[in-house]
Structure 1
């Protein structure tokens, strides 16, 4: 009778230290940001890269609370979608799997009636 040593399990993949936006995601967000700055709606932004969420915050003035937060939460990828737009009051305006469709809720703010 031969004794076999058990096959070790592969080590678990380490969790990322922080969640970030990739180049294409940041490009889409900054394209919208540029349009809103040109329209005079937004003036400043802030980025936060945390362990579970990446946040792009939009400000009307530097010293205020953010008007909107664009969040990426990879843990919600299989459930509700990892992208969300959160309003100043904390309500989620739109959540989904595709960043472009989630950002459309903010693009609608650019459409105004012409006098």
Structure 2
């Protein structure tokens, strides 16, 4: 519905999540949606060109979403995930914002 109003020199950036790539109880619905975003973004990039289409799937990010875990358990989960990443830490909201800002501002990335 918004397509006619979008600037053809602009971009659309979707936000996905690691739930698209993990098998964890309780994430079937959100995992399916996030998996769809990872699948549809490159297709839309071709179909809607020259409009740029991107998707950011940042992994584990320290946000209030994790507040359902007690502090000690959250720290343990974050430490486990951090140990599996090349940078040795989990992400911050600022990391995701910087990635999105780059994609929106770079006229070549799609």
Higher helix share: 2
Same fold, TM-score > 0.5, yes or no: no
Higher strand share: 1
Higher relative contact order (CA 8 A, sep 6+): 2
Structure with greater Cα Rg: 1
Q: TM-score, normalization: structure 1? A: 0.28
Q: TM-score, normalization: structure 2? A: 0.29
